[in-house]
Amino acid sequence: MNRLYRCLQSLARPVRENGLFCLVMLAMHLICVWQMKQWRPDFWPHMGGVVQDLYVLCLVLWLLPKKWGRGVKGLLYVIAYLTAAFEVFLYLRFRMNYTPTALQLWAETTPQETGEFFAAYLHGPALRTTLLCFGALLAAHLLCLFLMKRQGKAQIRFSSDENGVSRNENGVGADNTPVPCAKKRRARGQTVSCLLLILVLVAATAAAWTNRGWMWKYFTNTTSTRTEIRIDLFYSPVWRLAYSAKMLRLANGELGTLRHNMAALDVDSCTAHCPNIVLIVGESYNKHHSQLYGYSRATTPWQQEEKEAGRLVAFSDAVACWNLTSNVFKYSLSTQSMDQEGAWCDGVLYPALFRKAGYRVAFLTNQFLATRRQHSFDFNGSFFLNDPQLDSMCFDFRNRRLYRYDRQLVKEYRRYNPGPKNLVIFHLFGQHQKYSYRLTKSDRHFTADSIDRPDLSRAERQTVADYDNATRCNDDVIRRICQLFKDDDAIVVHYADHGEHIYDDTLVCGRTGANPPSPVVARHQFEVPMTIWFSEKFKMAHPDVVARVHRAKDKPFMTDDMPHLMLGLAGIACPYYDPRRDILDDRFDTGRPRLIKRQYDYDRLTGRTD
């Protein structure tokens, strides 16, 4: 038992000797959670991570020589106070956490802009609340330090004898008197508290285990393709800063490679076979909730009518290369495909090839903007599409507003001045969560009572109904886009970036990061709808293209080869075009491995091949 006591005392000693440090850091974290409204279900796993972090810091401080430990502790206090207080202020004033965007803008801010920022924003309730919270904590902190120093306890280091009794370096008790045997109960009480501390550490490790795994994976990755992760997994201001710095470093490295490749763009010739090419990129679209693919509810009535009229062809075997928007965007805009060696940035962005070939290119997205600085970074593609050099090479026109509803984005096309040859890209918000937020009152066609799923609760059935309503709403958006070109010689290609689980074959809603994905996950999160629509004028002028589309509709396709399909439609001959990746070309390779997440063969995963 004595050995057990000594072991427990040793494990707990770093925390006992830095108790005030732990309390202040915990209080600081709780202030951040309170002010930034982070009382979510993942609060306790995050607290587990905080407890682990604090124990590691206490252990380091305990192991350091005393003269170094005080300086390091002071530095940790300064970093913690500044990072926490500034992030709370950012959130209260701008509803912004530490993100790559915030860090990039901060790095680019000039001294003059910094002065203007302080003059303009350092006033009002956000600043008062921040100063009140952290000022009160700092005052309490300083008061505790004063009292501890006055009582002479801050400098005393305690150890335990063979009986588990707490003694200082002079062999006497905490009150500078010999410890009598009667005080053994107090020593055992300390042992119990040590045991509780160890139990808390074990519980914290178990609670934070999954979160730690994601964070480890993130910080050990070397390309941005594998680093998309929810920022809320980074539970403290310091971790969010580290996350942002890592992402910016990776993104800037890939941007450098992409800029280098784009500087040498070369187009041999262009027949402009299809003078008006429109691309619609959907969001979170589960094809198995589409009427076009056999779904029981009328979620795509307009597209169904167009299919029956012979103006729309639905492709039966299209697969997304990833179930994350940013990674899909990288590979579906770059001529580099998943199964090729190298990263996505080793290719070039095909909209720039269209511009080089004489097409005017419009890009209308409802997910991010071309900002004034055009360096703002997010997960949906803006970190490379908003680069000033790449933006000017790829696009003639971009929207300057975001809209709650995709129908409103369609109206932005009226501002575009088309040329003789045009590539128009619409990037929708589609069926992104929260599904009900995509709907107006008139869009609520289905209700919970419409969903015949007795295995689901009423709330879950309502979620399915909301998703189906959002899918029907998306059908109307596609109709509106096609109507813009109904009198032109135009072809419209539509596909979704990835799918979404809507309680299909499992009680899961949303997307998962499981590796490898199960066949059920692959079916609902990677299989995507893909359609091609023709105007009547296009059908008359290009019967050969229409025939090739019909012949290709059942071929296996992956969306990372979309650039080659688009280049083939335009008749652009260049070193980057590969007819073996163009599904409309007779040379299309139906046997190429369709690697999802760059490592799992989709067809093997789903049992389509041996």
Q: Note whether 522 and 515 are within 8 A (CB).
A: no
User: 196 by DSSP, 3-state: which?
Assistant: helix
Are 406 and 479 contained in the same domain? yes
Q: What percent of the chain has pLDDT over 90?
A: 51
Q: Give Cα separations from 176 to 165, 179, 189, 609 (angstroms).
A: 14, 9, 19, 78
DSSP 353-387: HHHHTT-EEEEEESS----SSS----TTTHHHHTS
pLDDT reading at 348 higher than 70? yes
* DSSP H or E segment with residue 160: strand 159-160
pLDDT given for residue 230 in this prediction: 61
Domain that holds residue 91: 2-208
pLDDT reading at 597 higher than 70? yes
Residue of higher predicted confidence among 124 and 264: 264
Are 183 and 292 contained in the same domain? no
pLDDT given for residue 169 in this prediction: 45
Residue of higher predicted confidence among 218 and 308: 308
Domain assignment present for 127 = yes
Give pLDDT tens digits for 456-512: 999 999 999 999 999 999 999 999 999 999 999 999 999 999 999 899 887 788 887
Are 346 and 475 contained in the same domain? yes
pLDDT given for residue 193 in this prediction: 72
Domain assignment present for 178 = yes
Are 7 and 99 contained in the same domain? yes
Q: 519: cis peptide before it, omega within 30°?
A: no
Q: How many domains does the chain contain in total?
A: 2
Domain assignment present for 187 = yes
Per-residue tokens: 7: 């072991």
Give backbone dihedrals phi and psi of 286, rounded to 5 degrees, phi first: -85, 110
Distance CA 257, CA 499 (A): 30
Give pLDDT tens digits for 351-385: 999 999 999 999 999 987 765 443 344 444 567 88
pLDDT reading at 35 higher than 50? yes
Are 426 and 289 contained in the same domain? yes
Q: Note whether 168 and 179 are within 8 A (CB).
A: no
Distance CA 129, CA 426 (A): 42
Residue of higher predicted confidence among 355 and 244: 355
What is the mean pLDDT of the segment spanning 258-277?
92
Map tokens 């009598």 to a residue. Answer: 180
The pTM of the whole model exceeds 0.95: no
Of 489, 566, 505, 506, nearest to 530 by C-alpha is 566
Distance CA 257, CA 226 (A): 17
Are 41 and 151 contained in the same domain? yes
pLDDT reading at 170 higher than 90? no
Domain assignment present for 90 = yes
What is the mean pLDDT of the segment spanning 57-78?
90
Residue of higher predicted confidence among 255 and 9: 255
pLDDT reading at 192 higher than 50? yes
Of 166, 188, 208, which marks where a domain is finished? 208
pLDDT given for residue 154 in this prediction: 43
Of 208, 226, 242, which marks where a domain is finished? 208
Are 21 and 143 contained in the same domain? yes
What is the mean pLDDT of the segment spanning 579-592?
95
Map tokens 């179930």 to a residue. Answer: 323
Instruction: Give Cβ neighbours of residue 301 (< 8 Å, ≥ 6 apart).
Output: 291, 472, 475
Q: Note whether 106 and 376 are within 8 A (CB).
A: no
* DSSP H or E segment with residue 492: strand 490-496
Q: What percent of the chain has pLDDT over 70?
A: 85
Rg for the chain (alpha carbons), in Å? 30
Distance CA 308, CA 297 (A): 17
Per-residue tokens: 580: 């073996």
Domain assignment present for 230 = no
DSSP 265-329: ----EE--SSSEEEEEEESS--GGG-GGGT-SS-S-HHHHHHHHTTSEEEES-EE-S-SSHHHHH
* 32-46, 125-139, 272-286, 378-392: the lowest-pLDDT one: 378-392
What is the mean pLDDT of the segment spanning 278-287?
95
Of 352, 354, 333, nearest to 344 by C-alpha is 333
Most confident by average pLDDT, 57-61, 112-116, 529-533: 529-533
pLDDT reading at 108 higher than 60? no
Q: Note whether 241 and 98 are within 8 A (CB).
A: yes
What is the mean pLDDT of the segment spanning 115-140?
81
Per-residue tokens: 417: 């001045």
Distance CA 329, CA 281 (A): 9
Domain assignment present for 251 = no
The mean predicted confidence, pLDDT, of the chain is 85
pLDDT reading at 536 higher than 60? yes
Largest CA distance in the chain: 104
Domain assignment present for 495 = yes
pLDDT given for residue 11 in this prediction: 80
Give pLDDT tens digits for 322-342: 888 888 888 999 999 989 988
HSE, side-chain direction, 13 A CA sphere, residue 209:
6
pLDDT given for residue 162 in this prediction: 45
Per-residue tokens: 144: 């505790």
Domain assignment present for 437 = yes
Are 382 and 508 contained in the same domain? yes
pLDDT reading at 128 higher than 70? yes
Q: Note whether 169 and 161 are within 8 A (CB).
A: no
Are 190 and 325 contained in the same domain? no
Helices then strands, counting H and E runs in the chain, come out as 21, 17
379: domain CATH number is 3.40.720.10
pLDDT given for residue 550 in this prediction: 97
pLDDT band at 552 (very low <50, low <70, confident <90, very high): very high
User: 427 by DSSP, 3-state: which?
Assistant: strand
Of 208, 240, 264, which marks where a domain is finished? 208
pLDDT reading at 207 higher than 60? yes
What is the mean pLDDT of the segment spanning 203-228?
77
Distance CA 15, CA 237 (A): 22
pLDDT given for residue 286 in this prediction: 94
pLDDT given for residue 485 in this prediction: 97
Of 318, 353, 258, nearest to 567 by C-alpha is 353
Distance CA 307, CA 478 (A): 13
pLDDT reading at 55 higher than 80? yes
Of 91, 83, 79, nearest to 37 by C-alpha is 91
Are 280 and 200 contained in the same domain? no
pLDDT band at 305 (very low <50, low <70, confident <90, very high): very high
pLDDT given for residue 111 in this prediction: 63
* 118-127, 131-140, 285-294, 585-594: the lowest-pLDDT one: 118-127
pLDDT reading at 183 higher than 80? no
Give pLDDT tens digits for 561-578: 999 999 999 999 999 999
Are 197 and 305 contained in the same domain? no
